[in-house]
Amino acid sequence: MSRFDAETAVEPVGDGLWATHLSAGWNIGGNSNGGYALTSVLRAMRSLVPQVDPISVTTHFLRPGQGDTDAEVRATVVRSGRTVSTLRGSLWQEGKQRLEVMAAFSNLPAGGRGGPEIAEAPPVIPPPEDCVHRDSLEQGVDLPILSRVDVHVHPDHAPAAASDRALIDGWIRFSDGTDPSTLALPFFADALPPSLYPLLGYIGWVPTIELTVHPRRIPAPGWLQVRQESHDLHDGRMIESGSLWDATGALVASSRQIGLLLT
């Protein structure tokens, strides 16, 4: 079992209830990465329906998840369909709800079903070995998560406040070599530095209010290429769009989130 699977595992403890434990190894500062924290909810949801691949995941973050802390997952089926099922779930710690998830699951075929297609091609960027590891960036926050995931940032986007765009290109993978999966795509969509960093520099932790991820394909083994960009910052609220491509250059997920710039 991979580390990601082991540290997002859930155990049924009642009707619509599961026990889990959030590891501190996925923390951003003192709080759990949001994409990591919501994965346990997706695992519980998946056990309730015949479909295995999340194709739409919308999460509202009510309070930060706490690493090295037990948690309870609650999940129910809103509608179980032949091709798509919709579920609602939540994660609780110490008697407080941490996040709320609405998700749709389906079965994504390997290679797709054919027919017309529209997909954004990945930008041309240097290979991972010529990019800058995230631990070299001046982000103003401790990053225990880098013990679990390798993040390499385009060298043009690594210096703080050296760009005129809120844009980050890079590469991401699990540090233990585990291949990406559809269940992991919401995590990968939330694991890059905030796109405001190249524009504004030292910004610390940018908590997410809401994150929506649309997995589109089963990712091929290997690195994922990622782009995150913000075109909207107002009253301390950032709206950021993201794309993930697999090692074949296929677009495997798109994302959109709103986060808070804490000053």
Flag whether 121 is in a domain. no
pTM: 0.95
20 lies in which domain range?
Answer: 3-107+127-260
Are 41 and 91 in contact by the 8 Å Cβ rule? The answer is: yes
Q: Rounded to an integer, what distance in angstroms lies between the CA atom of residue 85 and that of residue 101?
A: 14
Instruction: State the distance between the two ends of the chain, measured CA to CA, in whole angstroms.
Output: 41
CA angle centred on 186, ends 218 and 243, rounded to 5°: 75
Residue 213 lies in a domain: yes
Distance of alpha carbon 44 from its chain centroid, rounded? 17
- Of 254, 260, 252, nearest to 223 by C-alpha is 252
pLDDT at 17: 98
Let me know if residue 112 belongs to a domain: no
Q: Distance (Å, rounded) from C-alpha 131 to C-alpha 125?
A: 9
How many structural domains compose the chain? Answer: 1
Kindly state whether residue 16 falls inside one of the protein's structural domains. Answer: yes
Residue 117 within a domain: no
Q: Is residue 118 part of a domain?
A: no
Q: Can you give the CATH number for the domain in which 211 is found?
A: 2.40.160.210
Nearest to 220 by CA among 192, 248, 244, 242: 248
- Give Cβ neighbours of residue 98 (< 8 Å, ≥ 6 apart): 37, 61, 62, 63, 64, 65, 66, 71, 90, 91, 92
For 114, half-sphere exposure in the C-beta direction (CA atoms, 13 angstrom radius) is 0
Is 241 domain-assigned?
A: yes
pLDDT tens per residue across all 263 residues of the chain: 899 999 999 999 999 999 999 999 999 988 999 999 999 999 999 999 999 999 999 999 999 999 999 999 999 999 999 999 999 999 999 999 999 999 999 999 877 777 888 888 999 999 999 999 988 777 667 889 999 999 999 999 999 889 999 999 999 999 999 999 999 999 999 999 899 989 998 777 789 999 999 999 999 999 999 999 999 999 999 999 999 999 999 999 999 999 999 87
Quick check: is 122 in a domain? Answer: no
C-alpha–C-alpha distance, residues 172 and 116, integer Å: 29
Q: Hey, is 53 helix, strand or coil?
A: strand
Structure-token pair, residue 33: 């990465």
